[in-house]
Structure 1
Amino acid sequence: MALSFGKAAYAKVVQRLIERIYHNSALQDSIYEQAVSWFAGQEQRQQQLANAQQQLFLFENRQQQSSKANQAAITRNLRLAEAQQKTLEEEIEENNFLRFQALQQLCRDILSLCQGDTFTETNSYSAKMLGTIQLICPTRGKNIQKENQKARHLYKAILSIRFLDRLVLDGLIDNPFIIDRFQQSKHLHYHDDTEYHPYRDDVHVPVLMAAILQDIGRSHPSCLAILKGPEGTFDEFRELDAQERITYLQANYNATLSYVQEALGTGRYMGRDKEERDRFLQTEIEKRELIIALIKQAARPASELGNILKIPQIYTSMILSTKLVYNYEDLPKAALALEKSAEQAKLDQQAVVAFLRIVGMFPQGYGVPYIPKDSDGHDMERYEYAIVTGLYPPELKKPICRIVTYSLTYQASARGCVISAENNLYFPQARRKLEFIPEERLLEIMRKLVYNFEERMSSPLLPRCWHPDEYFINQKNQNLWNKAAMLQN
């Protein structure tokens, strides 16, 4: 069932999705908290199963070797051992199913927010989710790393399905299972909750699952010990040395595969038709195989399936960075870093081009200062603020934005704008256009645009970016993605 919410509540809905994936709460019910609990009890479960199997084996042997006088007592003990083993296995299976069900529902809820009935609508909804994640995450202060760690799983998951769609449309995916489900779904309505939709249910949901679970191994005790130290006193966001990093990545990868294969069940067939049931169970196996293949091949980014998770993972790690040194101004460099990796053949060239076609150079929710034009198309002698709000920009360096200040006054957003590199203050050629303006005038512009005095004191007179979080925190300013007239700048 699709999530329902009002305009002002949208950011809260996105925050809740983030918390359902990665959170620290008394309920311990997020996907990553469930994993911490599962890994912590893994050894005990294995021991319980081993003990139950040993008991069963023991009584089976005794039954074969005992006299008739002892048969009745041994049979009772054998049946008791069988019942105990069955109960234990059923309990494990039920818990696995409940974890799978919670993850599946989470993925369906994500899709209800980022998937529309048309290509344009879908990209608008996805831009809204990605931009909202960026805008509710802090870009200054002490909690950047922790909040980015929570949010990056959802961010990467949305990018992964949008990237998958682009690769399929460009003919860069030849996986038979994915292509078959895509072809089957071309004329089906995406959001019919009562009907089976092959591409949504068999491809989009598993890709979202794989993206969310890709780093689930970090919840394993061995990974936590590396990140936080044996006593839990280390800063988990510190830079690991080379050997620690290799050990951590290997442990994370192995634990992730273990979790997917052992901690998660599959869907349950509810009908009575045997042929339909067999098809359902076969599809569940294929979906599980797709999740595992995506995670495994992401470690080999040159592979076709590996790109689906790997490229969004690299990009997200830079946009929602958890490094100790964080510089918001540098976020557009993430796109350039991907380009460089492709040039060096570290990533597939065609895949990177396809990905950058979606995201452009400026991430969703990024604050862009720009030089507006007057009614005659001439540059004005000031700058204004805009926020990046659209995927698929016309060119890499021309972000689709929403204008948020007019004549140096903040207003609820009503107009959109495609900002050229020539008028985007991120680029030196745009800043040079305003260098002739007296310092007093630049200080006056800053006083009108910058929210607080501390930020004003540390900001350059011609800023390369601005921080829109304080603007966005006001609920009336959160409707940045409604339809609006678009200007060219």
Structure 2
Amino acid sequence: MAVSFGKATYAKTVQRLIERIYNHSPLKDSIYEQAVLWFAAKPQEDKQAAALEQQLYLFENNQSGAKGKGTARNLKEAESQSQEFNNQVEEAKFQRYSELEAICYDVLQLCQSDTFVDTNQQTAKMLGTIQLMSPTKGRQVAKTNQKARHLYKALLSLRLLDRLVMDGLIDHPYIMECYQASKELPYAENAIHHPYRDNIHVTVLMAAILQDIGRCHPSCQLLLKGPEGNFDEFRELEADERNAFLQDSYNEAFTYVQHALSKGRYRGRDRDERDRFVRDEEQKRELLLLLLKQAARPQEGIGNVLRIPQIYTSMVLSTKQSYNYEDLPKAALALDKSAELGKISKNSVAGFLRIVGMFPQGYGLPYIPKDSDGNDMDRYEYAIVAGLYPSNFRQPFCRIVTYSLTYQASARACVLSIENNLYFAPARKKLEVIPEERLLDILRKLVYDFQERMASPLIPKFWHPYDYFLHTKNQNLWNKAIVISN
């Protein structure tokens, strides 16, 4: 039977969402590619707008003193040119806004449900798929992570917002107004106006996607890629370069929101409905700008909704040369440490860590299985983290992907105990009594690549599930499964 490699339908859908946000393609139609084009064209657009405005002013004030039909004709033509130019600019702004909004609704369709449990399962599936589609070693790690991190961060921002609202840690009047108004409404019905979905969730997704859009400005691109465009954009910047980059990126993100994007357009005929729509669009724009502004210095404010996922994502989907897959679980610990030092909101971090636990979605963990009597066996097997809201921070919910040292489509799940999770030293110590020949035999059966096998420790802390996930039959780690004890 032929083995299918590549991406199954769901993984292809997630990949397409990633590429609609950030990509490098001849079409240049992703959100970030469009931003590069807009920033590059803005000086000429501003110059053209100023010239048309000056021409119109001259004809309106009849500077030449001429009278008659010629002057009226020139004025009319100037008005027509100015109107046509403004219409083109506004239409382009609306098209950019519409594409961004469409992406947000497509994200919500994949990660939202009418129940808390289903919503978290669907979000875990998206996060895990993003991680598992991303190589964890080799030359493509930085480029792949750069593309994927915007969607990854947006999903986490969404879930953190909900957690903070449920915990009473959000006091923004408009958010709470929309939340209260939506409590009894079905979320998945697109035909029904759902204030929390349409006004808050969409806006938070937009803010998360646009948070780094300022990096598309020429000044930031110059710092990243150099005058000839041949610098490694993922290199570590000097302190003064980094400060300039962060400041420019922050400022230009506001420029982009305010000048490159329009607001939504009302298409109905009901006056009251139109008034509500216009009010909501104004409130959404204010919230979007507030989220971006406060993310820089969130303290206890709403900026944590963006800032905490941004920090976490920068470590889990790192673009640094020092990237090490083993260190991914340290992202959660680093957030906890930052909160302890007062750098970010302790309450908000606590809510976030309650969602993600210690181990990122899609992370590969080896563990010691138990026999039917509950005794530890003399081997380890492989599992993949596949669930949010673990009951214990250090005990992830996982899908088991090997059974009796044989890979299989996932049909079992378990909560990995600290005692048997090889990421932790006490579990690894248990296997030190196993003969080396036995450990080598386990390694031969579980590791795909011979070179990787030669470089792997006999008792591993983690494993790379990327190759496993390349098989399309292995890409549904989130279906119903038998849960066994560990």
**CA displacement at 1:273 relative to structure 2:** 2.4
Q: How does 1:121-140 map to 2 (within 5 A)?
A: 121-140=118-137
Mapped pair 1:474 → 2:471 = yes
Mapped pair 1:344 → 2:341 = yes
List gaps (5 residues or longer) in structure 1: 1-6
How far apart are the structure 1 equivalents of 2:485 and 2:359?
17
Could you list the per-position Cα deviations for residues 344-379 of structure 1 after superposition, in whole angstroms to 9, with x for gaps in the alignment?
Answer: 000111110000000000000000000111111111
Look up the SS of the partner of 1:382 in the other structure: coil
Query: Which residue of structure 2 lines up, in the alignment, with residue 15 of structure 1?
Result: 15
The equivalent position to 2:106 in structure 1, one of 84, 109, 122, is 109
Could you list the per-position Cα deviations for residues 77-124 of structure 1 after superposition, in whole angstroms to 9, with x for gaps in the alignment?
Answer: 111111111111110000000000000000000000000120000000
Mapped pair 1:484 → 2:481 = yes
* Contact 1:269-1:277 within 8 A present in 2 as well: yes
Amino acid at match of 2:226: G
Query: Which residue of structure 2 lines up, in the alignment, with residue 212 of structure 1?
Result: 209
The CA RMSD measured in Å over matched residues stands at 1.0
Q: How does 1:249-264 map to 2 (within 5 A)?
A: 249-264=246-261
Amino acid at match of 2:27: L
**CA displacement at 1:276 relative to structure 2:** 2.2
**CA displacement at 1:386 relative to structure 2:** 0.2
How far apart are the structure 2 equivalents of 1:199 and 1:135?
31
Query: Which residue of structure 2 lines up, in the alignment, with residue 59 of structure 1?
Result: 59
Query: Which residue of structure 2 lines up, in the alignment, with residue 279 of structure 1?
Result: 276
Amino acid at match of 1:398: Q
Measured at CA, do residues 233 and 120 of structure 1 come closer, stay the same or move farther in structure 2, by a change above 3 Å?
Answer: same
Range with greater deviation from structure 2 (70-79 or 426-435): 70-79
Query: Which residue of structure 1 lines up, in the alignment, with residue 45 of structure 2?
Result: 45
Q: How does 1:64-213 map to 2 (within 5 A)?
A: 66=65, 70-213=67-210
* Contact 1:369-1:463 within 8 A present in 2 as well: yes
**CA displacement at 1:488 relative to structure 2:** 2.9
**CA displacement at 1:275 relative to structure 2:** 2.8
**Structure 1 moving runs of 4+ over 4 Å:** none
**CA displacement at 1:301 relative to structure 2:** 2.0
**CA displacement at 1:254 relative to structure 2:** 0.9
Mapped pair 1:388 → 2:385 = yes
Look up the SS of the partner of 2:387 in the other structure: strand
How far apart are the structure 2 equivalents of 1:142 and 1:211?
27
**CA displacement at 1:230 relative to structure 2:** 1.0
Query: Which residue of structure 1 lines up, in the alignment, with residue 4 of structure 2?
Result: none
Amino acid at match of 1:46: D
**CA displacement at 1:72 relative to structure 2:** 2.2
Query: Which residue of structure 2 lines up, in the alignment, with residue 239 of structure 1?
Result: 236
How far apart are the structure 2 equivalents of 1:301 and 1:254?
16
Aligned length: 480
**CA displacement at 1:321 relative to structure 2:** 0.1
* Contact 2:300-2:344 within 8 A present in 1 as well: no
Q: How does 1:254-333 map to 2 (within 5 A)?
A: 254-333=251-330
Query: Which residue of structure 2 lines up, in the alignment, with residue 227 of structure 1?
Result: 224
Mapped pair 1:25 → 2:15 = no
Look up the SS of the partner of 1:397 in the other structure: coil
How far apart are the structure 2 equivalents of 1:219 and 1:368?
37
* TM-score normalised by L of structure 2: 0.98
Query: Which residue of structure 1 lines up, in the alignment, with residue 3 of structure 2?
Result: none
* Contact 1:297-1:303 within 8 A present in 2 as well: no
Amino acid at match of 2:73: R
Look up the SS of the partner of 2:68 in the other structure: helix
Mapped pair 1:364 → 2:361 = yes
Amino acid at match of 1:378: N
Query: Which residue of structure 2 lines up, in the alignment, with residue 4 of structure 1?
Result: none
Amino acid at match of 1:39: F
Look up the SS of the partner of 1:103 in the other structure: helix
